[in-house]
Amino acid sequence: MLMATETYSTQAIAALLAVTDRAIQIRAKRESWQSLPRAGRGGGKLWIVSSMPAETVQAIRAALATQAALACAEAPLPAANPAARPAALAAVPDKKLDMARARHRIVLEWRACMERAKAEGGSAREASKAVVVAYNAGLLLPAWVHEAVPVVSEKTLYRWEKSVRDGDGFAALADRRGAWTRGGAKGAGQLGEAAETLFLKAYLHDRKPSVHLAWMATGAALEKQGLPAPSYSSVMRFFKRYDSLHHDVVVWMREGNKATTDNALPYMTRDSRILEPGDVLVADGHKMNFTVINPDTGKPCRMTLVGWLDWASGMFLSFEIMVSENTQAIASSLHRAILKLGKRPRAVYIDNGQAFKNKFFENKDADVEEFDGLYLRLGIHVQHSAPYQARTKVIERWWGDFDRQAAVLMDSYVGRDIADKPAHLRRNETWLARQQSGYVPTVADVQRLVMEYARWKAQQPHPTRPGSTPWDVFDAGRGPGFSEEEKTDLARQFLYRREVTPSRCRVRMLGLEYESDALYGVNKPLTAYYSYADMREIYLYDGQRFLGTARPVATVNPLAVVLGDDADMRRISEANKKAARLRKQTRDLAERISGAAGETLLELPYMRGVAQRRQPVVVQGTGHANGRDRIGPASTPQVSEAERRAIDGAVQAALERRKASAAPVYTLPAYFSSELEKYDVLFRLRHEDGMDLNAADAAFMASYEAGREYQTTTGRRYEQLLRLYDTPSKEQAG
């Protein structure tokens, strides 16, 4: 405690604040310290502490307190009675040592205040009372001292001061209660060897009995032996001390080897920053905690989500939804993961489940031709995780985040187990059950959910690479991609397979219809390769021969001419052109074989007479090797120059006579119910039949097209028809 008249020299303040004398003089001038002349040799100034700013006063006070504490700790007072000395400082518990330091700090401050009061002619008793009042009010000494010693009294201070004077330094103020003054606790407890042994045998059991039950069993066994039973509190204290020293034994005997591995044994920390994207892909199957409509049965069920994660970036690459975990689901999801990665991974880290250990994946038998595993063919090293150790698979954290952040929000959520089951699924929760929508998502709904969640997850901060996201890390390490031939080869090795039978360029599977021009004319079972997670296209094979891809059928507007738009008309036009192209292809094939087929039929024994009597039309210069001429149209006869001029003159005269005649070459009905009906007939004659209209009918069409009815109602329909009629003519012209 600093008194109002306290003064210090420049050298003393510089030593306390650990600065130079010049720094103190500059500070005194800047802060306008007041001073008194210093008596004695050399003179000088004594700076008055009360005139200094509060920050400077606090700094001096803290320096004085630290100096006093160090002096006391480094130079303890001599002990008058060696027998009364406390134990060595190292034997004092930390908590009691902190309290002793706080008490000693209070004693030092209390003693210094009384000495200053005496030196200034004041009353030491009044100074002692002032220290007690100031300390109990929280105005004296730092906060850590008050936390250890909240309040003091004068009698307590006199007793502490005597203990320091008679004892061995500030350790004499340590609380002497407890076993530390007697050398510490002896063993784990004081129950006695027989009681401790019986309790441990009862408690350390894989049935996991409670402490209370083990205490009751211990008491019964001791009573049978005629020994006193300890109290429950004593047993509980013994158990806590034993568990604090032998937690590994408690876990091993009550929970087993796996729990000891997970909770007691040391573990390794794997640094994923060493890896590059594509070095290791991690896969696992996860049972979803909500029901999904089974596409095969139409009933709700909990499906398995098989996913692949890039270890280096934490990017969720692909997944497959299946009723149960199997090799096809794993292969299909790995196929899409490799395509997204743009290169083949160096290694895969997969689950130890039966589906992952199938020979389809990693058979390393000597007969490579027959038992070559999929990973071996692709040059990928495979590593299985340890059985029943989820901590070895980094993808487990992704599953946990998906359950907590997405799956729990689904209407069909059922929970991880019985304890996690939603309240509306429990008995007698009728009100909560009525609040539910009852909606069960389809496989397509779940696919969208997983894709959107994975996309959102990829934009979150990376856990081990600050300043980046999983997508940033993954995108920087992606491969160059695959060619079409490589993609086709990967598809055959990875995707699901199903036999399909084409009909009219279409195949039907899983409730969907697919179409492809490659199916035209094919009338035999084929093999379709597909993925449940991406049904936008399927790959069609005839044995080992790739035919092409098929995509879902695109429907058209049933009345596109009236109700459709330009896109509908364009789709119809494209469909018509495709049908015309395929029809021409068939016709060309048929024309190549039609003549030969006709001749072959005439070789039947009962048709030979007919063949002999048949007079074929001879085509010049097309004789066959067998001496017979092919049946075909007659050649054009030769026309002389005079005959050609006569024919041209006759044709020209006929054209002039037709042009001179105004009579139309068509006949219209005598009555029309409306102008629209007449316009429709004339429109079809001109554009559909290609006929020329007479002047009156052409004028009527022009007048109707300029009218309100055509401009606002019927014109759109006829304009679409006109585009449809004009398309073939343009193709022919091209």
Q: In what order do the strands lie in the sheet with 526-531?
A: 496-500, 526-531, 534-542, 545-552, 512-515, 506-509
3-class DSSP state for residue 707? coil
At residue 69 the predicted structure's pLDDT band, cuts being 50, 70 and 90, is low
Q: Sign of the CA dihedral 616, 618, 619, 621?
A: positive
pLDDT greater than 80 at residue 656: no
In a domain, 710, yes or no: yes
Q: In what order do the strands lie in the sheet with 304-310?
A: 315-322, 304-310, 280-287, 347-350, 381-384
In a domain, 639, yes or no: no
> Are 345 and 375 a contacting pair, CB within 8 Å?
no
pLDDT greater than 60 at residue 29: yes
Q: Are residues 504 and 410 in the same domain?
A: no
At residue 188 the predicted structure's pLDDT band, cuts being 50, 70 and 90, is low
Any bridge partners for residue 508, and if so which?
513
In a domain, 426, yes or no: yes
In a domain, 619, yes or no: no
pLDDT greater than 60 at residue 1: no
pLDDT greater than 50 at residue 83: no
Residue with token string 């954290």? 397
Close Cβ partners of 77 (under 8 Å, ≥ 6 residues apart): 164, 165, 167, 169
Close Cβ partners of 527 (under 8 Å, ≥ 6 residues apart): 497, 498, 499, 500, 540, 541, 542, 543
How far apart are the C-alpha atoms of 620 and 634, rounded to whole Å?
A: 8
How far apart are the C-alpha atoms of 554 and 516, rounded to whole Å?
A: 11
pLDDT greater than 90 at residue 611: no
For the record, the structure tokens of 183 come out as: 């050398």
Mean pLDDT of the chain: 79
Q: Are residues 463 and 387 in the same domain?
A: yes
What pLDDT sits at residue 622? 43
CA–CA distance from 734 to each of 182, 574, 729 (Å)?
112, 17, 9
**Number of domains the chain is built from:** 7
How far apart are the C-alpha atoms of 105 and 71, rounded to whole Å?
A: 11
For the record, the structure tokens of 482 come out as: 């695959």
At residue 327 the predicted structure's pLDDT band, cuts being 50, 70 and 90, is low
pLDDT greater than 80 at residue 661: no
Q: What's the CATH code of the domain at 207? A: 1.10.10
How far apart are the C-alpha atoms of 173 and 102, rounded to whole Å?
A: 9
Long-range residue pairs from 249-255, CB within 8 A, at least 24 positions apart, any chain: 249/204, 250/204, 253/204, 253/205, 253/206, 254/203, 254/204, 254/205, 254/206, 254/208, 255/206, 255/208
What pLDDT sits at residue 271? 84
Q: What's the CATH code of the domain at 327? A: 3.30.420.10
In a domain, 518, yes or no: yes
pLDDT greater than 80 at residue 649: no
What pLDDT sits at residue 313? 92
For the record, the structure tokens of 729 come out as: 């003519």
In a domain, 540, yes or no: yes
Any bridge partners for residue 542, and if so which?
545
pLDDT greater than 90 at residue 455: yes
How far apart are the C-alpha atoms of 271 and 368, rounded to whole Å?
A: 36
Q: Sign of the CA dihedral 319, 322, 324, 326?
A: negative
Report H helices in 638-686: 641-660, 675-683
pLDDT greater than 70 at residue 294: yes
Q: Amino acid letter at 482?
A: F
Q: Are residues 418 and 507 in the same domain?
A: no
In a domain, 713, yes or no: yes
CA–CA distance from 226 to each of 8, 178, 194, 218, 233 (Å)?
77, 31, 12, 12, 21
Q: Are residues 233 and 311 in the same domain?
A: no
Q: Where are the beta strands (DSSP E) in 128-216?
A: none
Least Cα distance to 316 among 511, 117, 453 occurs for 453
pLDDT greater than 80 at residue 697: yes
How far apart are the C-alpha atoms of 469 and 394, rounded to whole Å?
A: 17
Q: Are residues 504 and 573 in the same domain?
A: no
Q: Are residues 256 and 301 in the same domain?
A: no
Least Cα distance to 255 among 269, 265, 245 occurs for 265
At residue 72 the predicted structure's pLDDT band, cuts being 50, 70 and 90, is very low
Q: Are residues 313 and 450 in the same domain?
A: yes
522: alpha, beta or left, given left = phi > 0 and alpha = psi -120 to 50? beta
Number of neighbours of residue 711 by Cβ within 10 angstroms: 11
Instruction: Please compute the mean of the pLDDT values over residues 228-243 and round it to a whole number.
Output: 92
Long-range residue pairs from 242-249, CB within 8 A, at least 24 positions apart, any chain: 242/188, 242/189, 242/200, 245/188, 249/204
Q: Are residues 290 and 389 in the same domain?
A: yes
Instruction: Please compute the mean of the pLDDT values over residues 363-367 and round it to a whole number.
Output: 41
What pLDDT sits at residue 633? 46
At residue 416 the predicted structure's pLDDT band, cuts being 50, 70 and 90, is confident
Q: Are residues 371 and 458 in the same domain?
A: yes
> Are 568 and 557 a contacting pair, CB within 8 Å?
yes
Instruction: Please compute the mean of the pLDDT values over residues 595-621 and round it to a whole number.
Output: 59
pLDDT greater than 60 at residue 552: yes
What pLDDT sits at residue 612? 58
For the record, the structure tokens of 133 come out as: 């009042």
56-70, 338-352, 577-591: lowest mean pLDDT where?
56-70
Instruction: Please compute the mean of the pLDDT values over residues 9-26 and round it to a whole number.
Output: 82
32-36, 339-343, 637-641: lowest mean pLDDT where?
637-641
Number of neighbours of residue 203 by Cβ within 10 angstroms: 23
How far apart are the C-alpha atoms of 253 and 209, rounded to whole Å?
A: 12
pLDDT digits (tens, 9 = 90+) for 391-403: 667 888 999 999 9
At residue 586 the predicted structure's pLDDT band, cuts being 50, 70 and 90, is confident
Instruction: Please compute the mean of the pLDDT values over residues 501-521 and round it to a whole number.
Output: 85
How far apart are the C-alpha atoms of 385 and 391, rounded to whole Å?
A: 9
Instruction: Please compute the mean of the pLDDT values over residues 705-726 and round it to a whole number.
Output: 79
Instruction: Please compute the mean of the pLDDT values over residues 193-200 and round it to a whole number.
Output: 91
At residue 224 the predicted structure's pLDDT band, cuts being 50, 70 and 90, is very high
Q: Amino acid letter at 588?
A: D
| Residue ranges making up the domain that contains 585 | 559-593
Q: Are residues 546 and 565 in the same domain?
A: no
For the record, the structure tokens of 313 come out as: 């970036």
If you average pLDDT over each of 590-594, 689-693, 724-728, which comes out highest?
689-693
In a domain, 106, yes or no: yes
Q: Are residues 516 and 565 in the same domain?
A: no
For the record, the structure tokens of 381 come out as: 């090293």
* Pairing label, strands 512-515, 381-384: unpaired
pLDDT greater than 60 at residue 488: yes
Number of neighbours of residue 362 by Cβ within 10 angstroms: 19
How far apart are the C-alpha atoms of 522 and 536, rounded to whole Å?
A: 22
> Are 97 and 123 a contacting pair, CB within 8 Å?
no
pLDDT digits (tens, 9 = 90+) for 98-134: 888 899 889 998 989 988 888 888 888 888 888 888 8
Residue 15 or 352, more confident = 15
Q: Are residues 235 and 287 in the same domain?
A: no
Residue 583 or 91, more confident = 583
Residue 87 or 9, more confident = 9
User: Residues in the chain, how many?
Assistant: 734
